[in-house]
Amino acid sequence: MPDPIDVYLLAGQSNMSGSGQSHELPDVLKAPHASARIYFAPLNSPGNERLDRPHVRQWSALAPNSGEHPGGFGLELSLGHTLAARSNTPVALIKSDRGGTSLYADWRPEDHDDPSTLTNLMLAASAEAWESLLEEGLNPRLAGIIWYQGESDTSLNNPDPHAYSQQLQTIFELISDELNDGQPAPKTIVRIRPATEPNHSNDHVIRQLQVQVAQADPMATWINTDDLHQIEGDAWHVNGQSLLTLGDRAAEALLTLLPPGEGGPQSGSDEGTQVAVEPSVPDQVEPAAAVSAETDAPTASEPTPEPPHPSPIPAEGGTEPAASQDTDSIEDEPAASEPETPKSEIASPKSLEPLPKPDATRVLALMNQKGGVGKTTTAVNVGAALANLGLNVLCIDLDPQAHLTLSLGIEPDEIEKSNYDLFTDPETTAMEVVRYTARDDKRLAVLPAETNLAGVESELSDMIATGLAQTILRNKCKDLIQQFDYVLIDCPPSLGLLTINALTLASQIVVPMQAHFLALQGMTKLFETIGMVRQGINPNLTVAGVVLCMHEGNTLLASEVIGELEGFFEAARGTTQPWAEGQVFQPPVRRNIKLAEAPSFGQSVHAYAPDSNGAKDYLALARSIAGG
């Protein structure tokens, strides 16, 4: 089982960036932390010094140098140290911020069509950080969000400061959709200090709205900053010592929202916290009061608004409130760190209308010479979906990384024969290599791969020269494939011998890709290769169409790329081109974190998270590909 890691997203403007200086730090915070790491993804404009630091856009041990100034810091240092000290799970912080930015002018969460908004840039950076953890073989969980922003929204230039609460709620929802499959995550809002500048007199509105957003959300808290100290001569920014205090408060606030045993205070303890919350967290936290670290008493600087709704209903089966549940298990989503008892790879088709069997076996090669576009994910999850819909499916793994094999619960090191043997041993038959998934479902079979598949081309150099190597897969599999309704071939991200073998066996090609313009340009070379194979080896080969993966459909760029693809296929109608009947399959597959998590457990998304957006999209896509 993959090792769990708790991920916290830190976002906001300059006070989140932090103006702390290294000389303000105690020695214990200067050294890299052993079990806490940070992904530093500043949102500054090109040319800003922060973008040139060596650890930008990569995971590194938590240490100073993620602040506004070189070698500086924000609240992340004490936050990470406190969280790591209170948890048995490693801690990972994603820090994505930019100074001088407002929700209405810069973050603009309602503007889905503009990829340049800070909200979209933050979400993209967070997804990259998350996927990097998955590539390490870790099992990330969104354990909390810390938001420290709002000073710029207090300006008199803000046309509608009262819209702040809806915009902030929208950002939290988008984060949950991106990293937590739509489920709410613990979050804490750092309430800004009162403004001292006359042109920022909307400060009382923003401060009140920040509290109201927290009180309206049983998974949220807010933190008081009125007792913290500003940098001398600076109207807005808190000093280094106050940032350290603030990091401790944020950690305590988030831990308060976790159930006992997962880092939260134990039931009945006298431990205090510097937060203001609804009475939906453990009862040692006093509701609706902002408590300072120095005084340990409620602040009287501003009256606290009344909660806009009653306390949440207790969770079923116990007296703990719903907000104290593990957020990874809400609404039957399997917890990433502790999955349910393994389900059958093939879900029960009782609620699924079966697809009719095709007149003859359809062999689809999924190919794109660019890696990381969703080939393997599509092969696994379209294959499992077709099997869910009552069809017999064979998946062939021709990628030496063996990711399809692993994704379906088969360990390459534990198999006696693989596709490597199929290519290099004349005596090995496809029937000897074929395996069923780890849960013995007889509608989904695999011809598995091992990493030594990468050496096939050099071992078969003599056969390549004679042209015999290009048809090995077709000759070995011609009898086996007749037992299946669909055969899906996961091709390597190259146009070498293994891919040529796939094209020789296949009847149609499916091209997984992202809706990017660079991806369009790569298709030219791909289609040239398809034309050559059709002329020389497989005259019946055609292009079935394109599958859009990791899709962000509400952007102008995506719409333009889809238009280009549809125009390309439409222009070929009635010609003899292999793509004359091609299409852009619907629906596009939305970016969904469950798709990235499922392979770690050797399951398709349909078995791992059947109610997720990823499972729904691939089930609908399978119907589209099958024409049903």
What integer pLDDT is reported at residue 439 of this predicted model? Answer: 55
Do 300 and 372 sit in the same domain of this protein? no
pLDDT exceeds cutoff 80 at 134: yes
Judge whether residue 275 has pLDDT over 90.
Answer: no
DSSP state of 484: -
Q: What is the pLDDT of residue 285?
A: 29
**Selected residue with higher pLDDT from 299 and 455:** 455
122 shares its domain with 31:
yes
Kindly state whether residues 327 and 359 are assigned to the same domain.
no
First to last CA, the chain: 37
- Average pLDDT, rounded, for the chain: 82
Q: Can you tell me which residue has the tokens 């619907």?
A: 586
The pLDDT of residue 330 is above 60: no
Of 180 and 319, more confident: 180
* Helix spans in 149-259 (H): 164-179, 203-215, 240-256
pLDDT at 518: 66
Is position 337 within any domain? no
The reply to whether 387 and 303 lie within a common domain is no
Contact status, residue 301 vs residue 307, Cβ threshold 8 Å = no
pLDDT computed for residue 481 by the predictor? 95
Q: Which residue, among 227, 226, 104, has the nearest Cα to 167 in the 3D structure?
A: 104
Has residue 161 been placed in a domain? Answer: yes
Cα distances from 456 to residues 67, 249, 379, 464, 583, in angstroms, run: 50, 57, 22, 11, 33
Q: What percent of the chain has pLDDT over 90?
A: 56
pLDDT tens for residues 96-112?
999 999 998 999 998 87
Identify the band that residue 442 occupies on the pLDDT scale cut at 50, 70 and 90.
Answer: low
Residue 235 and residue 370 in one domain:
no
Could you identify the residue written with the tokens 């609240």?
A: 75
pTM above 0.75, yes or no: no
Query: What is the DSSP-derived secondary structure letter of residue 230?
Result: B
Q: How far is CA 430 from CA 365, 460, 516, in A?
A: 18, 18, 38
Same domain, 195 and 74: yes
Structural tokens at position 37: 């790491």
Q: Is the residue at 340 inside a domain?
A: no
Say how far apart CA 168 and CA 148 lie, in whole Å: 11
Q: Is residue 231 part of a domain?
A: yes
pLDDT for residue 526? 81
* CA atoms in the 13 A half-sphere facing the CB of 308: 10
* 49 and 117, same domain (yes or no): yes
In a domain, 343, yes or no: no
The answer to whether 76 and 10 have CB atoms below 8 angstroms apart is yes
Q: What is the pLDDT of residue 2?
A: 84
Residues 299 and 366 in one domain: no
- The answer on 289 and 367 residing in a single domain is no
Same domain, 404 and 326: no
Would you state the pLDDT for residue 322? 29
| Least confident window among 79-88, 187-196, 333-342, 571-580 | 333-342
- Looking up residue 432, the CATH number of its domain turns out to be 3.40.50.300
Q: Of 333, 346, 415, nearest to 380 (Cα)? A: 346
pLDDT at position 201: 85
Residue 209 lies in a domain: yes
Helix ranges, 425-572 (H) = 430-433, 456-459, 461-466, 472-477, 497-505, 517-536, 556-571
Name the pLDDT band for 465 (thresholds 50, 70, 90): confident
The encoded tokens of residue 5 equal 């890691």
Residue 475 pLDDT level (bands cut at 50, 70, 90): very high
Distance CA 21, CA 61 (A): 19
**Mind listing the pLDDT tens digit for each residue in 591-624?**
888 888 888 888 999 999 999 999 999 999 999 9
Claim to verify: residue 283 and residue 419 sit in the same structural domain = no
Report pLDDT for 555.
66
Q: State yes or no: pLDDT of 509 exceeds 50.
A: yes
Average pLDDT over residues 271-275: 35
**Domain presence at residue 391:** yes
Domain end residue (candidates: 300, 332, 364) = 332
User: Can you tell me the distance from the alpha carbon of 607 to that of 584, in angstroms, rounded to the nearest whole number?
Assistant: 26
Task: Give the span between the Cα atoms of 108 and 415, in whole angstroms.
Answer: 52
- More confident: 232 or 244: 244
pLDDT(420) > 80: yes
Q: What is the domain count for the chain?
A: 2
| Distance between CA atoms of residues 244 and 49, nearest Å | 23
pLDDT score for 441: 58
Strand partners, 542: 508
Rg (CA), the chain: 27
For the stretch 174-223, pLDDT in tens is 999 999 988 999 999 999 998 877 788 889 999 999 999 999 999 999 99
Distance (Å, rounded) from C-alpha 386 to C-alpha 628? 11
In a domain, 361, yes or no: yes
Q: Do 304 and 367 share a domain, yes or no?
A: no
CATH, residue 232: 3.40.50.1110
Indicate the DSSP class of residue 370: S
Residue 145 parent element (H or E): strand 138-148
What is the tens place of the pLDDT at every residue in 148-182? 999 999 988 888 888 999 999 999 999 999 999 88
Domain assignment of residue 260, given as a range: 3-312+322-332
Q: Is 618 helix (H, G, I), strand (E, B) or coil?
A: helix
- Which of 315-319, 355-359, 548-552 is the most confident on average? 355-359
